[in-house]
Amino acid sequence: MWHALWVIAGYLLGSIPTAYLAGRWLKGIDLREYGSGTVSGTGVIYHVGIGAGVLAGLFDVAKGAFIPWLARQWGAPLPVLLLAGLAAVVGHNWPLYLGFKGGRGISPFMGMMLVVFPWGVLWLLAFLAIGRLLKYTALVAFCGILTLPLLTYIAGQPTAVTLASVGMLLITAIKRLEANCLPLPSGPERRRVLLRRLFLDRDVSANEEWVLRRPGN
């Protein structure tokens, strides 16, 4: 029962919509109607402000770290820590409090990795930095998540950590394709949009056009 409670607690904490609250409290907007529609620190940076976005991102990292850290203090085994951390990612991506429309989960996942495999955080941060420089953050970040299981294997991490990394890859792919229930076009464009969602995390070719969208535009 205790193991199940850790996982449930991870999901409920991960579901706290930090970015959504920042948008509501500071600008009176619903981030689900702006930009990519993701409820994330990046969305806050674009539509609320850099400072608020950084704070929201840090809180999202803490959401993924706290329950695994607490569970470890109470003697929970590694698989339970990982399941609780992934539950926080699922809560962030499909939050109970926002009709299951949330973010993409990288921040809470890095929080979990801080507890179980800090080198994984540096790995993902390096990919995010390179992606930012190349202006292909979503694509390069996906490559970082895609290669993380290999890093954990090479680094001699327990099998559970590698499996959790694979789990994050699957969660990321599902969330990008689902895109907070955005409708898909019909015909040949449907496949192109699905490919853009998976690799570029957007429905159109131009990034600025996508992230700067506003209601009615």
Calpha distance 53→45 (Å, rounded): 4
Calpha distance 123→127 (Å, rounded): 7
Calpha distance 50→159 (Å, rounded): 38
Strand (E) or helix (H) holding 37: none
With a CB cutoff of 8 Å and minimum separation 6, the contacts of 184 are 190, 193, 194
SS3 state of residue 205 = coil
**Given this model, what pLDDT does residue 177 score?**
92
Residue 191, number of CB atoms within 10 A of its CB:
11
**Given this model, what pLDDT does residue 86 score?**
97
Among candidate residues 213, 128, 131, 143, the one with its CA nearest the CA of residue 179:
213
Q: For residue 156, what is the DSSP state?
A: T
With a CB cutoff of 8 Å and minimum separation 6, the contacts of 179 are 36, 37, 197, 203
Phi and psi at residue 182, to the nearest 5°:
-65, 135
Task: Give the domain ranges of the chain.
Answer: 2-211
Whether residue 62 contacts residue 70, with contact meaning beta carbons closer than 8 Å, is answered with: no
Alpha helices (H) in 135-180, listed in sequence order: 137-154, 159-178
**Given this model, what pLDDT does residue 83 score?**
96
**Given this model, what pLDDT does residue 128 score?**
93
96-144 pLDDT tens trace: 888 888 888 999 999 999 999 999 999 999 999 999 898 888 899 999 9
CA angle 14, 87, 115 (to 5 degrees): 85
Strand (E) or helix (H) holding 33: none
Calpha distance 172→57 (Å, rounded): 17
Q: Which residues of the chain have pLDDT under 50?
A: none
**Given this model, what pLDDT does residue 88 score?**
96
Number of separate helices (H) and strands (E) present in the chain: 11, 0
**Given this model, what pLDDT does residue 148 score?**
97
